[in-house]
Amino acid sequence: MYNLTIAYIASFCAMFVTTSSYFFKKKLMYLIFQLSAIVFLILSYFFTLEFVAMIGIGVGLFRVLVYLFYENKQRIAPLYWAFIFSVLTIMAYFVGSTLKESGQSYYDILYVLSLCMFAFIFRIRDIKLVRYLCLIPLIMSALYNILINAPIFATLSYVFETLANVSAIIFYAVKYNKPQIISIKKENTDENN
């Protein structure tokens, strides 16, 4: 069952799908890609026999499924879901750190807080606002991985995701602001005639 090659391939697919998710204009597609990335992460952890880590990933999977359900109905998820997922995230952290016997560190607060922030951000329906707000927990997660000397792939995946998010923000800012510049130039030309 242990297969590091499959685990790396699944991790790479998760990173690719996650970074791609930020380039969708619709929140529904964003959530579908986030869901797909979580499935790839589950496969990655399964093939490295990291079953304890799958507890936290399971919370993330449940979170995206619930928000996907509401998004599909074009409704915002009730606020209590964000609190439920935050509590489940904290519980998963304590269960996971107890089972792994790795102990806790002060840096873990940074990571758990970033996961709780995702619970609140993912319920927002405006994808533009989601992109902007996701920068905070993404940067916190990358910083956390640097501080704990996480494997380079884990750190790079958060760095790439952050860069993809910034790229999407810039792409859509340029794409949607460009016609306004053209119309302003046209208005100025009409005024001069």
Q: What is the pTM of this model?
A: 0.86
Question: Could you give the CA distance from residue 67 to residue 31 in angstroms, rounded to a whole number?
Answer: 8
pLDDT in tens, 116-152: 999 999 999 999 999 999 999 999 999 999 999 888 8
* Residue in 106, 125, 6, 11 with CA at minimum distance from that of residue 57: 11
Residue 187 — pLDDT band, cuts 50, 70, 90? low
What CA–CA distance (Å, rounded) separates 14 from 36? 7
Dump pLDDT digits (tens) for 76-102: 999 999 999 999 999 999 888 887 766
Instruction: Please give the mean pLDDT across all residues of the chain.
Output: 90
What is the spatial distance between Cα 160 and Cα 97, in angstroms, rounded to a whole number?
26
DSSP symbol at 22 = T
Q: Which H or E run includes 101? A: none
In the prediction, which pLDDT does 182 show?
Answer: 47
pLDDT tens digits, 152-182: 888 899 999 999 999 999 999 988 775 444 4
pLDDT at residue 58, rounded to an integer = 94
Q: Where are the alpha helices (DSSP H) in 78-151?
A: 79-100, 107-121, 127-147
Distance between CA 142 and CA 144 in Å, rounded?
5
Mean pLDDT within 43-70: 94
